[in-house]
Structure 1
Amino acid sequence: MSRRLNVYGLCLVFGGSLLLLASQQLANPRPHPHPHPQQPQSAAPPRPTAPTPPPASSLSHNRSQLSIEEVISLQRARIQHEMRDYRFEAGSRGLEGLTPETGGTPRRSLILTTWRSGSTFVGDILNALPANYYHYEPLLNFDIVQIRGPPHAAPALRNLRQLLDCDYHGPGMEEYLHYGRAHVWLFTHNERLWEHCSDHPHLCWNATFLTKFCRLFPFQSMKVVRLRLKLAEELLGDDSEGPRILLLVRDPRGVLQSRRHRDWCPGQPDCDQPALLCADMVSDYVAAVRMAALHPRRFRVLRYEDLSLDPYKTVSSLLDFFGVDFHSSVKEFLDTHTKLDLGGVSSTFRNSKSAPFHWTKDLDFEDVWNIQSECFEAMAHWGYNMAHNQSHLMSKEFNPLGEYSVA
């Protein structure tokens, strides 16, 4: 009997040992035999293939506690990876020649327009470039206004200069970052930054981190919808390595039709009044003629409709103006964003050939006529043809687009 009890006891001990071992294995699983590659100790050269950077989680058990330098090192490796197949100009210093942290000068692209004129689409095209840092609507904290002069012109231009210089410590930046904490879409469109904001929220609004992070990037893009062109000319200055400016123009009938779908526009004179919109378009035309003559290599005009009708050819020419390569990532963006209408009013997934002309179906002729009566001069400058009556508006013979020139 005692012998049988001993056998039972041994079985219980053995079984308990197996259960304990299994529970330890579940609590502490063995590492995967092929972990993510570790980051190199020194920066990789710009052209050779760089290792795929590991996710932030592989660097720390608590991602929210990563230091500024750890995040900067991680992003530096990611940029090297993104730029691995980028075609640099012959004779250039490659990536080092374009990154401020290595004494280089980034390619800075500034889109200047007004609300609902296609800037989200153009901004996303530029942001499809590898290693692009996107300053999305940096004047958001000025509210729903158009800046044409004092009192907002000086602080607005100061903020734009500081951001283009990756300076988040200067005057006005504290207010800018304070606004961003409560209005996060100021940063969410800057996808490469926002990924780290999500993982490391203690760094996201830190001026020291933002300055260092911005200085890693070879490309910067900025879209501005609250500043008129005559003021933006100051950003060109005499520095040939400064930003290149694109004035993006859209038919005022399409602009005002699109703004009706935004709840922040009605009741705001600078947004819902055709007379103010078209006075700005006339002012922009006068400034564009002057700037095209003085800065032919650093200033360009583009109608949103022309881009939409021939996106691949227009984007190729546009990127050439900005001094950047028509990278495969940009082509992929165009392939996926210009064929079908998907998403809401802010989506950039559009049938590009029809998107600019929705107004011809959504507005009745009374609305069209009211806009045209306020915008005759602006439409003549920018080559937009008048609709004469409802039948003309709805006919296949009506072409809203005519010729224009700023030469």
Structure 2
Amino acid sequence: MAYRCSLMSRCGRTRRIFFLLGMATIAMTWMMSGGDDADQDGKAEGSKTKEKASFVELKPTGDTTDAAEMPLPLDETRLHSWNRFDGSQKTKTNPDADDESKVHILIFSAQRSGSSFLGEVFKQHPDIFYAFEPVRPLTFDVLEGKLSNRLFDVKAREKLYDFFKCKNANLRYVTRYKTDLGFRKRYKTVDYTKLCRQKRHVAVKEIRFYDLKGLQSFAEDPSLNFKIVHLVRDPRAIINSRAQAYFRNHDFMRKGVPWDEVTDLCNDMQENLRFVRSSPTWLRGKYILLRYEDLASEPLQTTKHLYSFIGVKLHDDVIRWILQNTKEERGGALSTTRNSTERVVAWKQEMSFDQVNDVQLKCADAMTMLGYLPVADETAMRRDDANFISDHSKYFLEFPYRV
């Protein structure tokens, strides 16, 4: 009897072991099956999310090509190394990022006006998500015939709206790599939607909006706390800076206008300044005019004015960056580290008088309104003590909104 009990105990333990092993096998099989189902569900959900993210509230008419998925030309590799989505922005999750205090800032400027430097003033703030020229790929889509030029402005506004709303906030860029057959290109689209949503505010720097009037819908959108920082610069310095850069002005090529680049720049500047002087009601409280020369000569004081205007508290990180990056020149034409006061008048040593005079004639109205003083001859232009900007221009002081 004792033998039978002992045997039964052993048998019982054996049965229990096999039972537990069987249950574990069943559980593992179920988990693996469930995991596959969950993965499929996740893929389906991801597909739904992607479909939802591609929805744009500002719908275009006509061509519905998804320009954001088009590749960029090979020779634009160096341009896209400018991309300021370099992971250096702090990723501090902010649970209140979607509250009503969220500010949507647009740096509205022309190419080579100092907008990248100004953009860094916002990027350094830990509560601001900063987007560097998200409209750029659309220019090359037009040049490659993948997007109608007449739809460019519509698509550009859609892209800006997506970044302000942290919806489908992606940027496409291209890299080059060398093979035995020569250089090849690799395309990549990076989605910054999650990072954007972690920040309290959004700032976008863009040089491809030429008509200030086209931004009225953003200013009147009740879901946006829209602020325009209109950065202007001495057109002589702009043209000189473009000449010093190693790339062509693809945005001017994209526009396809019958006049030269200087005329194009001056026309845009003058039309926008005249519009501002007409005091449109929708700009009130949403617009500020800033001369690059004021930012360069008094970077910290001007930055304080800017942050006061947008209603965001100035952070110590911003102050620290300004103090570290405005005293010396390094990094070449695309660098944001500048001896800012020297760059204000670098054009007078780097341009000929004929080049300067061409700009002065074509930009006379804009220069007068903004207080940029013309030079009469080369001797006057080369003088070290010459003054090329006035703080007392009656035209500039007439502007209703300025720093």
TM range (shorter): 0.5 to 0.7
Query: 1:260, CA displacement in angstroms?
Result: 0.8
Opposite residue 126 of structure 1, the aligned amino acid is F
**Bigger share in strand:** 2
Opposite residue 399 of structure 1, the aligned amino acid is N
Query: 1:308, CA displacement in angstroms?
Result: 0.7
- Over the matched positions of the two proteins, sequence identity in percent amounts to 26
Answer whether contact 1:76 1:216 (CA < 8 A) is retained: no
Opposite residue 253 of structure 1, the aligned amino acid is R
Q: Residue in 1 aligned with 2:303?
A: 315
Answer whether contact 2:132 2:204 (CA < 8 A) is retained: yes
Q: Residue in 2 aligned with 1:152?
A: 152
- Structure 1 residue runs of 5 or longer lacking an equivalent are 1-67, 69-74, 81-94, 185-203
Q: Residue in 2 aligned with 1:264?
A: 247
Matches within 5 A, 1:85-100: 96-97=95-96, 99-100=97-98
Q: Residue in 2 aligned with 1:58?
A: none
Q: Residue in 2 aligned with 1:281?
A: 269
Q: Residue in 2 aligned with 1:25?
A: none
Q: Residue in 2 aligned with 1:401?
A: 389
Matches within 5 A, 1:2-151: 78-79=91-92, 96-97=95-96, 99-100=97-98, 103=99, 105-143=101-139, 150-151=150-151
Deviations 1:27-76 (CA, angstroms, capped at 9, x unpaired): xxxxxxxxxxxxxxxxxxxxxxxxxxxxxxxxxxxxxxxxx9xxxxxx99
Answer whether contact 1:109 1:243 (CA < 8 A) is retained: yes
Q: Residue in 1 aligned with 2:213?
A: 230
Answer whether contact 1:113 1:247 (CA < 8 A) is retained: yes
Q: Distance in 2 between matches of 1:291 and 1:336?
A: 38
Answer whether contact 1:288 1:301 (CA < 8 A) is retained: no
Query: 1:111, CA displacement in angstroms?
Result: 0.3
Query: 1:234, CA displacement in angstroms?
Result: 2.5
TM-score normalized with structure 2 length: 0.65
Q: Residue in 2 aligned with 1:182?
A: 174
Matched, 1:361 2:349: yes
Opposite residue 164 of structure 1, the aligned amino acid is F
Deviations 1:267-297 (CA, angstroms, capped at 9, x unpaired): 8556961111000001110232245654331
Secondary structure in 1 aligned to 2:307? helix
Q: Distance in 2 between matches of 1:132 and 1:394?
A: 42
Answer whether contact 1:249 1:303 (CA < 8 A) is retained: yes
Q: Residue in 1 aligned with 2:362?
A: 374
Q: 1:183 to 1:285 in 2, by over 3 A?
A: farther
Query: 1:334, CA displacement in angstroms?
Result: 0.7
- Structure 2 residue runs of 5 or longer lacking an equivalent are 1-45, 47-87, 143-148, 177-187
Query: 1:322, CA displacement in angstroms?
Result: 1.2
Moved more, 378-387 or 283-292: 283-292
Q: Residue in 2 aligned with 1:15?
A: none
Matched, 1:245 2:213: no
Matched residue pairs, number? 286
Secondary structure in 1 aligned to 2:244? coil
Q: Residue in 2 aligned with 1:306?
A: 294
Q: Distance in 2 between matches of 1:105 and 1:96?
A: 13
Q: Distance in 2 between matches of 1:263 and 1:396?
A: 28
Query: 1:78, CA displacement in angstroms?
Result: 4.6
Deviations 1:338-361 (CA, angstroms, capped at 9, x unpaired): 111111111111111111211011
| CA-atom RMSD in angstroms | 3.0
